[in-house]
Structure 1
Amino acid sequence: MPRPTLAMLDSNALQSNLAVIRRYVSQARVWSVVKANGYGHGLSAVWQGLRKTDGFALLEIDEAIVLRENGWYGPILLLEGFFQIADLYEIDRYQLTTVVHSNWQINAIKYMTPTAPLDIYVKLNSGMNRLGFSDQGLPVAWQALSELKQVGTLTLMTHFAYANLPEGVSAQMAVVKQAAGNCMSTLRCLANSAAVLWHPETHEQWVRPGIVLYGASPSGDWQDIAEIGLQPVMTLQSEVIAIQTVPAGGCIGYGGRRRVAETQRFGVVACGYADGYPRSAPTGTPVWVEGVRTRTFGRVSMDMLMVDLQPCPLARIGSKVELWGNHVKIDEVAAAADTVSYELMSTLAPRVTVKLR
């Protein structure tokens, strides 16, 4: 029998979440972000649920090729552009759209001969201070690219650092407005997930939703999206594989840091940090057992964790356990573990069986 730890993916939730995003962005076209192997869900599993998108955005050329070989013929955007000159020939071969964020990339394009002009997203550093041309450098880069016969359409792109925070997007939008004054194209792609939901002035011609497509909040607080209609795509589930009755004063797990005040039942669940459940999740992290919300207890081990069965009198060996999903939001687990849902999704271990329903 296989180990009972499963990640169940809801393809209908993906379709529904994409439809929710479309209602928010009106006429803007949608890049569905599927980087990091579809945010840990599995690219081959999720792209079908998102096939009504206008395009897919990711990082790896290999993942772009997977989409092409699986039958996606629409736009694909490489969010970090290309890493070496040889990549340009794959970009040309598979008709990919690439981000350009550095002068060396412009020079590389200048000396290639593509079979068709390349569509380019020109990255502006508007305040995130990762990739992109400065506001002073953008017009120069734009002019250089616009003069190349190797280049087709040019689209202005930036990324927001504070769209999920009170600071918002106003400061970065001011940089965009100033820097873009000499860029003749009206094509822009600015909005990430948070900006899609909360800053409609950023929507422009294209948007790039990521985490919201998978049913989690870009703010890290699931209550911020509770009324929007987004649905969790991934349910991480397992089973109770043993039950222990621990006497008063007994300890639970490594280090014995948690003692029980009175005799109590605990369930041993077949899921641990080697599966992608966060080791930093403390006692009290919510979990769903046999239809009842309860909590973890003690340290998370490599392959197992303990749950308090006091609220779950009907729990038994074989009882179903939801670690996150519809009943326990992934944002709740992430907050308890002092991380973000992005990390939990993208670090799901390869040994966890993934099933699409």
Structure 2
Amino acid sequence: MARLRAPGDPHHDVHLTGAVFLDIVFTGLDSAPLRGSESWAKGMGSSPGGVANLAVALARLGLRTSLAGAFGDDHYGDHCRDSLARGEGIDLSLSRTVPGWHSPVTVSMAYEGERTMVSHGHEPPERPAPAGPPPARAAVASLAPGHPAPWIARAAARGTRLFADVGWDETGAWDLASLEDLDRCEAFLPNAEEAMRYTRTDSPRAAAHALTDHVPVAVVTLGAQGAYAVDRRTGETAEVPAIDVEALDPTGAGDVFVAGFVTGTLAGWPLADRLAFAGLTAALSVQEFGGSLSAPGWCEIAAWWRTVREVRHQDPSPLRRYAFLADLVPREPIRPWPLRRAVPTIGFRPPR
């Protein structure tokens, strides 16, 4: 990414805004917890969550990342702030710690390749809106039906390239007109169910094509089947199957996918390479505990690529599909990896 930054480019590659959660993840459950019973998990990890999942994934791929987030005024908030700023090098100068506000918490239970989550938190007190987001090459926005975000319009006016995802529409309306900021975005990355509901179509691929009436690039994630994308401007379409891995914890995989796609877009790669890279980063992330601290960096991507090339008598399609990595991954480890992994408790202290 450093080679691609031109003189006069903004200092930040990507800007984010949102709340930071503390994620507590239980893995290795045999099934979903049953009412009135006690379940024991084989593994547990805690890490910063919420918008932190995306921030860490972007930073570990080498993007200079700015986060305007709200942090709780408690030990959880201190832990998350330290992990992001000191551990991952994320710029938190536009973030704030809210006096008397406790950190929102999500407990995620992973089983059979799926997850169930329980969250608790309160909206942080409002404060006067800043003059605008910092100059950045890109920004990622989570769209909410009927709730436009003023910062998105300001970022678009500055020439920031906007990538959008969306959550479940609790209103049940599934009206694209309610996503008022969508027409300011370069790319929209819903999952298959969301895409089909918003477009009233009966297949993810039809939904992706329908979405390009509203946004230049539509990427529809298909879960275990991979992803499909359409670029209206170039006429490109791409479909990439998911990489078959043993999933320990899927928490945050969608955010890692978005980070991979943003990275490939800023690097100017073809649509199929961007989609493949996003799927690869997501696949590597689900093999570790925790949403944010499971995100891979280039050393892990390089290790995967070396392993694929060394396997004999294999299907040659991965070698062809990911051949673009050959000139990108470091040939030798450039620093110890991983930087950090999720641990069972935030109470552990580093050895003296």
User: TM-score, normalised to structure 2's length?
Assistant: 0.32
User: TM-score, normalised to structure 1's length?
Assistant: 0.32
Greater radius of gyration (CA): 1
